[in-house]
Amino acid sequence: MGDVWKALADPTRRKILSLLKDKDMNAGEIANEFNMTKPSISNHLNILKQADLVDAEKVGQNVNYSLKTSVLEDVLKLISDLSSRGKD
C-alpha cells in the first residue's frame, strides 16, 4: 500500500484522480488541464498505474485512463477503521 500513499501525496496526482472521477480521459486531455509537459503528466499517470489507482486502455493511438475505485475503497476503509478504533 506504500505506492498508494506515495501516489496520493502529490497534489497533481490527486487532481488527476478528481478529473477521472467524472469521466475517462486520454493523456492529452489530462495534460490540457495542467500547465506542465506531457512527459510530466505521463510520469504522474505511471505512478498512479503502479499504485493501481487508474486503469489504462489503448484505443487506437490514444491511451484512455479511468479511475479504479477498489484501492481507494480499501484506503477509505483503513482510515475509517483507524479513526473508529481511536474512539473506543
Three-state secondary-structure class, residue 67? strand
Three-state secondary-structure class, residue 35? coil
Task: Compute the mean pLDDT over every residue in the chain, rounded to the nearest whole number.
Answer: 90
Residue 49 has pLDDT above 60, yes or no: yes
pLDDT level of residue 79 (50, 70, 90 thresholds): confident
Q: Which has more pLDDT, 1 or 69?
A: 69
Domain 2-85: give its CATH code. Answer: 1.10.10.10
Rounded CA-CA distance 36/72 in Å is 26
pLDDT level of residue 55 (50, 70, 90 thresholds): very high
pLDDT level of residue 20 (50, 70, 90 thresholds): very high
Q: Which has more pLDDT, 58 or 77?
A: 58
Can you read off the three cell numbers belonging to residue 9? 501525496
Any idea what the Cα angle at residue 70 is, between residues 68 and 74, rounded to 5°?
135
Mean pLDDT of 35-39: 91
Mean pLDDT of 46-64: 94
Domain ranges of the chain: 2-85
Closest CA to 8 of 61, 79, 86, 83: 79
Burial of 58 (0-12, 13-18, 19+ CB in 10 A): exposed
Can you read off the three cell numbers belonging to residue 4? 498508494
